[in-house]
Amino acid sequence: MKYMTAEPFRIKVVEPIKKTTKQYRQECLKKAQYNAFRIRAEDVYVDCITDSGTSAMSQDQWSAMFQGDESYAGCKSFYRMEKSVQDVFGMPYVQPTHQGRAADYIMAQIYAKKDMYAIGNMHFDTFRGNAEVMGCIPLDYCIEEGQKANQDYHPFKGNIDISRMQKLIDTDLDKLCVCIMTVTCNNNGGQPVSMKNIREVSELCKANNIPFVVDSARLAENAYFIKIREPGYENVDIKDITREMFSYAETATMSSKKDGLVNMGGLFVTRNEDVYHQANQIAIVHEGFITYGGMSGRDMEALAVGLQEGTDFEYLSYRVNQVKYLGDRLKEKGIPIIEPAGGHGIYVDGKKFFPQIPQHEYPSQRMVVALYEEAGVRAVEIGACAFGKKDPVTGADIFPELETMRICISRRVYTNNHLDVIVEALGDIYKNRASYKGMRLVYEGPIVSLRHFTAGFELIK
């Protein structure tokens, strides 16, 4: 075990990345109105804005792509992918989609109902958006420990609060249309959900006739955490764990851009034949024919292989431990992060990092800007800008509990040397933290609910 921490692969193809000067980066920031999404990728040295669609593919994936069958209907690539999906999910019916949000759309069309509640641990934004458009009310019922930027250890901060859910069932059962468990829980840092919680939530749903769905972009990382943290699973294979997770659900959606180890694609998977036929109908209109649903044959080939590689224990061990490495090194510098480290990134606590900057002056966004300026590293704000709202009556700002900068780690892309750059740069900023002032939001863009993609800022002098 002594030598297990190195990558379980070696590098065959390289992609050059550019080093720039601080002055150059200050110009880039100004042009981008201090919004990381508006910086050109080529001006970024280490890109940690997301782990979505940014994985490096393997030689087996690239060679499988050459076998892509681009027939409109019934192509070989679909059947190869279907077999791989059935193997990981243990569910029979597979409808591909062009990416995860299209699967969310289909799921919302089938399960979300007007003026009714969709309960979950923390709904991902794309389902939330789809549900809200339909007049359905999404409710986040994640356990207390998972809700705040708190440092207390809990092995499964993505769990649903069972007693709160029971209370809702007692008072409002007729208003509950669906329960959606997101694994891992993206919005609080990629925190896992335990098998026990999945089982108990599913039993509660079954007893009350509520359909149970799993939003499973990071299903393999969740299974890895179950294996290493949940008693009784130490010796169970990752795929036996994923299959057990899904055995409790009727339907699953997946953004393949995460644990599928591909750059594009999504899945709608179910064990309910009737639901599958409804999904086919919606897919035909919005995505494409049943056997491609917006994906090309070569993309389905890459996913067929990627799902198998993504559920490999050696890979997952490397993956999760690389993220933990970054977290541990930041902690050594005294930098306040959310603990324990999640599966796909590290969240730095903006309020603790810059205590002098009030939340309405965007402390986490200030950290994103400082990190890019210092080292060309691009992270993303998950805080006052991304999740801030306006009170519909008074117009007053409502700020989220979680005020963080997320450093996402792409799969199989960066070495620990790249992560050390992040640690050194953030360490220097932290040393000089008292000299930083906040930011002013000067432009929200056309879509207020997702304003972090388009917003513009100024530095407060």
Task: Kindly list the residues in this chain that would bind ligand PLP in the complex (CB under 6 A).
Answer: 52, 99-101, 104, 124, 126, 182, 186, 215, 217, 255, 257-258, 266
| Residues contacting residue 156 through CB under 8 Å, at least 6 positions apart | 191, 192, 193, 194, 197, 225, 229, 230
- Tokens coding 63: 């060679």
Selected catalytic residue, list 98, 227, 239, 452: 452
Would you say 25 or 257 has its CB closer to ligand PLP?
257
Distance CA(258)–CA(254), nearest Å, equals 9
Question: Could you tell me the smallest distance in angstroms from the CB atom of residue 344 to ligand PLP?
Answer: 9
Cβ of residue 193: shortest distance to ligand PLP, in angstroms? Answer: 12
Whether 254 and 217 have beta carbons less than 8 Å apart is answered as: yes
Cα separation, 323 vs 317, whole angstroms: 10
Our answer to whether residue 47 is catalytic in this structure is: no
Residue 351 designated active-site: no
Specify whether 3 is catalytic.
no
378 or 433, CB closer to ligand PLP?
378
Which one is catalytic: 51, 69, 215, 259? 215
Closer by beta carbon to ligand PLP, 99 or else 322: 99
- Residue 28 or 160: the one with the smaller Cβ distance to ligand PLP is 160
Closest distance to ligand PLP from the beta carbon of 430 (Å) = 29
To the query of whether residue 217 is one of the catalytic residues in this protein, the response is yes
Hey, which residues does 397 pair with through a beta bridge?
Answer: 390
Distance CA 30, CA 92 (A): 51
Query: Is 418 labeled as catalytic in the residue annotation?
Result: no
First-residue to last-residue Cα distance in the chain = 52
The closest alpha carbon to 380, from 391, 367, 397, belongs to 367
Check if the beta carbon of residue 143 is closer than 8 Å to that of residue 194: no
The question of whether 277 is a catalytic residue gets the answer no
Catalytic residue among 87, 125, 240, 328, which? 125
Q: Which of 45, 89, 111, 124 is catalytic?
A: 124
Q: Is 300 in a helix, a strand, or coil?
A: helix
Q: Are 353 and 430 in contact (CB under 8 A)?
A: yes
- Lookup: tokens for 60: 């087996």
Active site residue 66: no
* Closest CB 410 distance from ligand PLP, rounded Å: 13
Catalytic residue among 258, 344, 351, 418: 258
* Nearest distance in Å: CB 6, ligand PLP: 28
Nearer to ligand PLP, 149 or 217 (CB): 217
Coil, helix or strand at residue 397? strand
List the catalytic residues.
Answer: 72, 124-125, 215, 217, 258, 452
